[in-house]
Chains A and B, each alone.
Chain A
Amino acid sequence: MAKKILLVDDEPHIITMLENRMKHAGYEVITAVDGQDALMKAQKEKPDLIILYLMLPKLDGFKVCRMLKFDEKYKHIPIIMLTARAQEVDKKMGEKVGVDGYITKPFEPQVLLGKVKDLLG
């Protein structure tokens, strides 16, 4: 069965393109456009991996990550944080909330796919 990826970004263009990219790579894709939506879908759909943009409306990526990683039921789901900032502070924050990987925009598709594959084992 195809692995399920939850894709979260508030930019519709990026959602469209990444969805297409992931489907081509053989994954099942569900999407969310803000932090609350992401949290709800993560809990309901139990994806195998989440690609999470940092600067989301309603709940930012760190908060979403924190809430999932501190919940026994969901903490096993790997989370790749997608960010437009590659600053140290963010990485530190990410470590604290349990982010599994980082990708900086604009990303090389192969790098993203590689990371997804690694984390899905």
Chain B
Amino acid sequence: MTIKKSKIENLVVFIEKNHDSIVVVDKAGIVLFANPAAARLFNCERKELYGKPFAFPLPGDKIVEINIPGKNNELGIAQMQQLPLEWQGQRAIALLIHDISELKKTEMLKAAMDERRRIDRIKNEFISNVSHELRTPLTSVREGISQILEGFLGETTQKQKEFLSMCLEDIDRLSRIIDGLLDISRIESGKIILKKETLDIVDLARSALASLAIKIKKKGLELIEDFPEEKTEIYVDKDRIIEVFINLLGNAIKFTDKGHIGMSIKNKAKMVECCVSDTGRGIAKKDLPRVFSRFQQFGRVYGPGEKGTGLGLSIVKSIIELHKGQIRVESKLNKGTSFTFTLFKYTSRELFRQYIIDGLREAVHNDEPLSIFAFFIENFEAVKNEFDSKRIASLMNKFYEIVGGHLRRQADLAVKDERTILLVLPVTKNEYIDSIQMRLSQALNEYLGKEGLSDKIKIGCRTTGFPRDGSSADALFDKIKEAIS
């Protein structure tokens, strides 16, 4: 008997504690019983439900969805099914009500996100197609006007030439806008693959400055540079970062009539901070939130000169974000503006990892193999005790030269830290890994032998390759992790 009792107790717990609502009604639909979950569902005491008609039509044999009062006055959704049973001697119906509001909400969110992605894709394809279609007619318009201007079709008056030149200028501007739009749509649709290399950011800043120095001089502006003296290496897409500098500098020059243009680079612990500032007309406070939006031009420049496209800063922001950096603007009307962006500095471990991720992405994208070698000083602790850091650095430089001397293509990559040299060889078939490793190890050991260091320094090597060892960066990284501190 005790067993039976405990069974009933279990059943009571099952009904009373159930998160699903359980309601029993008679044949006429009058409520005979409701569990606590049902009371919560209808937001009343369970006794208040008894003896009253149940609020929903009976589902019959099907499972139906019903609207229920949900959280925060929203409408919820529940599934309801019925089971026949006997209740205190008469035939009755049990209704099981299972709240699926949260599930529906997630489904709807997911559907909305899918839809958004779909629309984004259509939008970007549309921009790409439209840009393409615009170029052809633009070409004949440009070519026609050029030829009239050049006198191929007879003499033109000075006034005609002036007007045609204006047309030509605006055709070129239109074509820059098309380029910009295409650029943005490609960045946004993730079609751009950054070609990252380890570079000194100061070199990039200087190369941008070089192309705009004449403009700064022409406007009689002073240039104030503040660059770090030490090498400030960063892993970025060279052309894209130069584009960022040129864009920011170009704006600064355009909107500044007197005073100076400032350009500073600060080498901080975990990041590099670049700033382009001016003493120009500034941007009104109310306009600041929109400076990075497309086609927002404030304080347009009148008169001659290259007109903007309204896309520059939007592209700048996209490029910085593509590099996982951040950009911000500060400005005071009639005082000046400064744009500051930060780029993350990788630790050597992160950098090696990033090299592998980027190399792998390119390889998968082109359906080509990838081979990776990590040469490292195996007995690094002992070496550190024996030699000072300067000597180790110069040895590593020599090793780097030896390994780098075996790079054949521009796409081959070598990068080093204090004890490891990572070599990423795209397109190199995995079959060649062993022979390349042997050749390079031999070259390194020969050098050590020549220097009489053979018994002091042990060079190790770990190799991996795609597709040989897997197709994820983690799998490849795992194979060589011993070589990386």
Q: Are B139 and A106 in contact (CB under 8 A)?
A: yes
Q: Are B136 and A105 in contact (CB under 8 A)?
A: yes
Distance from B174 Cβ to chain A, minimum over Cβ atoms (Å): 9
Q: Are A20 and B147 in contact (CB under 8 A)?
A: yes
User: Chain B interface: which size bin?
Assistant: 10 to 19
Q: Are A14 and B140 in contact (CB under 8 A)?
A: yes
The distance in angstroms between the C-alpha atoms of A86 and B142, with both chains bound, is 18
The distance in angstroms between the C-alpha atoms of A80 and B139, with both chains bound, is 16
Most buried by B among A18, A21, A24, A84: A84
Q: Are B147 and A106 in contact (CB under 8 A)?
A: no
**Which residues of chain B are near A24, meaning CB under 8 Å?**
147, 152
Q: Which of B136, B138, B152, B175 interacts with A20 by CB under 8 Å?
A: B152
Q: Is A70 interfacial (CB 8 A cutoff)? A: no
Q: Is A45 interfacial (CB 8 A cutoff)? A: no
Residues 170-191 of chain B, each 1 if its beta carbon lies under 8 Å from chain A, else 0: 0100010001000000000000
Q: Are A107 and B152 in contact (CB under 8 A)?
A: no
Q: Are A14 and B132 in contact (CB under 8 A)?
A: no
**Which residues of chain A are near B228, meaning CB under 8 Å?**
none
Known: A24-B152, A106-B175, A109-B146. A17 touches B140 (CB 8 A): yes
Most buried by B among A14, A17, A104, A107: A17
The distance in angstroms between the C-alpha atoms of A22 and B213, with both chains bound, is 37
Distance from A94 Cβ to chain B, minimum over Cβ atoms (Å): 15
Q: Is B258 interfacial (CB 8 A cutoff)? A: no
Q: Is A11 interfacial (CB 8 A cutoff)? A: yes
Q: Are B139 and A14 in contact (CB under 8 A)?
A: yes
**Which residues of chain B are near A109, meaning CB under 8 Å?**
143, 146-147
**Which residues of chain A are near B470, meaning CB under 8 Å?**
none
Q: Is B144 interfacial (CB 8 A cutoff)? A: yes
Q: Are B135 and A106 in contact (CB under 8 A)?
A: yes
**Which residues of chain B are near A107, meaning CB under 8 Å?**
139
Residues 128-161 of chain B, each 1 if its beta carbon lies under 8 Å from chain A, else 0: 0000110110111111101100001000000000
**Which residues of chain A are near B132, meaning CB under 8 Å?**
84-85
Chain B interface mostly helix, strand, loop or mixed? helix
A-B contact count (CB 8 A): 45
Q: Are A14 and B136 in contact (CB under 8 A)?
A: yes
The distance in angstroms between the C-alpha atoms of A11 and B137, with both chains bound, is 9
Q: Are A106 and B138 in contact (CB under 8 A)?
A: yes
Known: A11-B140, A13-B140, A17-B140. A105 touches B147 (CB 8 A): no
The distance in angstroms between the C-alpha atoms of A31 and B410, with both chains bound, is 39
The distance in angstroms between the C-alpha atoms of A105 and B144, with both chains bound, is 14
Residue of B nearest to A11 (CB): B136
**Which residues of chain A are near B138, meaning CB under 8 Å?**
105-106
The distance in angstroms between the C-alpha atoms of A7 and B16, with both chains bound, is 86
**Which residues of chain B are near A20, meaning CB under 8 Å?**
147, 152
The distance in angstroms between the C-alpha atoms of A27 and B171, with both chains bound, is 27
Q: Are B142 and A106 in contact (CB under 8 A)?
A: yes
Known: A24-B152, A106-B171, A106-B175. A17 touches B144 (CB 8 A): yes
The distance in angstroms between the C-alpha atoms of A29 and B277, with both chains bound, is 53
Residue of B nearest to A92 (CB): B366
**Which residues of chain A are near B175, meaning CB under 8 Å?**
106
The distance in angstroms between the C-alpha atoms of A86 and B152, with both chains bound, is 29
The distance in angstroms between the C-alpha atoms of A13 and B142, with both chains bound, is 11
Q: Are B135 and A21 in contact (CB under 8 A)?
A: no
Most buried by A among B138, B140, B144: B140
Q: Are A17 and B136 in contact (CB under 8 A)?
A: no
Q: Which of A3-61 contact B (CB under 8 A)?
A: 11, 13-14, 17-18, 20-21, 24
Q: Are B147 and A17 in contact (CB under 8 A)?
A: yes
**Which residues of chain B are near A21, meaning CB under 8 Å?**
143, 147, 152
Distance from B6 Cβ to chain A, minimum over Cβ atoms (Å): 72
Residues 92-121 of chain A, each 1 if its beta carbon lies under 8 Å from chain B, else 0: 000000000000111101000000000000
Q: Are A105 and B135 in contact (CB under 8 A)?
A: yes
**Which residues of chain B are near A105, meaning CB under 8 Å?**
135-136, 138-139
**Which residues of chain B are near A85, meaning CB under 8 Å?**
132
Q: Which of A17, A84, A104 interacts with B143 by CB under 8 Å?
A: A17
Distance from B179 Cβ to chain A, minimum over Cβ atoms (Å): 8
**Which residues of chain A are near B152, meaning CB under 8 Å?**
20-21, 24
The distance in angstroms between the C-alpha atoms of A24 and B144, with both chains bound, is 14
Given contacts A11-B140, A84-B133, 14 further A-B contacts (CB under 8 A): A14-B139, A14-B140, A14-B143, A17-B140, A17-B143, A18-B143, A21-B147, A24-B152, A84-B139, A85-B132, A104-B135, A106-B139, A109-B146, A109-B147
Q: Closest 8 interchain pairs by CB?
A: A84-B135, A13-B140, A106-B139, A105-B139, A17-B143, A105-B135, A106-B142, A106-B138
- Can you spell out 11 A-B residue pairs with CB atoms less than 8 angstroms apart? A11-B136, A11-B139, A11-B140, A20-B152, A21-B143, A21-B147, A24-B147, A84-B136, A104-B135, A105-B136, A105-B139
Binding site for B on A (CB under 8 A): 11, 13-14, 17-18, 20-21, 24, 84-86, 104-107, 109
